[in-house]
Amino acid sequence: MTRPSICAAFTSPGSILNQDLGGKAQVHKFAYIEKLDLITWLEGASEESECIKPLAGDKDGSASTAAAALASKGAAAPVIGSTLGRSGKGTVDPRLASIYNSERRMGDRNSVLRGIKPTDFSHVRKLAAIFMTKKPLHPSSSNASSNPTIPSHQKQKRPDPIILLSPSASSLLRMSNIKSFLESGQYVPPNSLAATSSTSANMLHINRLLKDIDANRPMRFILVEGSEQFKPEYWNRVVAVFTTGQTWQFKNYKWSNPTELFHHIPGIYVGWRGEQLPESIRAWGHRVMNVAVDRWSNPGTAAVDSSRWRDREAVEGIWKAIESNMRTKGWKRDRAPASI
């Protein structure tokens, strides 16, 4: 039995032995032996193979040898008998051999995976060593990674609460006199000589101890007249709004509607004792605290009137209302509320 091939007909070694035995015995065919012998011949490692039988026109097997050489180089073997592949002596046409030599070399699995010889990649280990070196961990960082909880002595800083003042010129409390009023409990007109704060300041700080929230340290309050520089999260820290009853004050607020504003933040109105409340203050009802102070007897003097003892009573009422609202909103010793 013969099989068509690239250069010759393959004859099974098992069939040759069966013929020699004359039918008295039979040799089983081992396909892997045939395959191993054929691959060895195709790779050029062996010039002879019992699987190869020369064709009738090629007694010396020159065509088979030439085709095997081309196959070992990765070129396709020409078919003997074609117009360009057959010369007078049964050898491969040089022109066809040149064409096959220009073809892309496919190679076998050994040449594709490993090349001519095994590749040494030991130099890659040296290059990667500098990137694989482990840096020693700092003791503090290792302890932090093993214990993700925050130590008790590293407490989160509490933000400062904010109080908004009215920028109206008719307001009895401005940046020039609010500090003496809320800290010292004494009212002085904003334009009098007794007013100690600078009228050009756009932000002030005052300290007040609120025992029901933090009995160990005073809280620092930030006082401003406008919300133009506010970030959105600042509104969660506003604890009081001083107003004169004029709605234009709330134009740039988060809640421009007075009813909605005083639903979230308590309002405070400071007026002269004995005077009638503005209509807007009465309309807003209990959401705005009404505080009355005595009129200043001599605005031109620089001395503070010692008879103004009722000012302190008014201030204490304001702080009591602010503290009560802060407790309700969720102010704690170490944190502010997430929303109001």
Domain ranges of the chain: 9-114, 162-329
Q: Which CATH architecture has domain 162-329?
A: 3-Layer(aba) Sandwich (3.40)
Tokens 């007694």 -> residue: 59
Q: Is 8's pLDDT higher than 50?
A: no
**Dist CA 210 CA 230 (whole Å):** 25
Q: Is 188's pLDDT higher than 70?
A: yes
Q: pLDDT at position 142, please?
A: 45
Write down the pTM of the prediction: 0.52
What is the tens place of the pLDDT at every residue in 51-110?
777 766 655 555 555 555 555 555 444 444 444 444 444 567 888 888 888 887 766 666
Q: pLDDT at position 249, please?
A: 94
Q: pLDDT at position 50, please?
A: 72
In the chain, pLDDT over 70 holds for what percent of residues? 63
Q: pLDDT at position 145, please?
A: 43
Q: pLDDT at position 197, please?
A: 56
Helix H or strand E segment including 145: helix 139-146
Confidence label for 10 from pLDDT (cuts 50, 70 and 90):
very low
What is the tens place of the pLDDT at every residue in 292-332?
998 877 655 555 566 688 899 999 999 999 999 999 998 98
Q: pLDDT at position 112, please?
A: 63
Q: Report the candidate in 33, 68, 70, 30 with the shortest Cα–Cα distance to residue 47.
A: 68
Confidence label for 186 from pLDDT (cuts 50, 70 and 90):
confident
Stronger pLDDT, 17 or 120, i.e. the higher one: 120
Confidence label for 285 from pLDDT (cuts 50, 70 and 90):
confident
Q: Is 288's pLDDT higher than 50?
A: yes
Q: pLDDT at position 154, please?
A: 45
Non-local (6+) Cβ contacts of 11 within 8 A are 1, 2, 50, 51, 52, 53
Q: Is 287's pLDDT higher than 60?
A: yes
Average pLDDT over residues 254-269: 93
**Dist CA 149 CA 139 (whole Å):** 16
Answer whether 218's CB lies under 8 Å from 209's CB: yes
> Which phi-psi region, left, alpha or beta, contains residue 185 (left: φ > 0; alpha: ψ -120 to 50)?
left
Q: Report the candidate in 211, 207, 214 with the shortest Cα–Cα distance to residue 163.
A: 207
E strands, the chain, are 9-10, 52-53, 162-164, 204-208, 219-224, 238-242, 267-272, 288-293
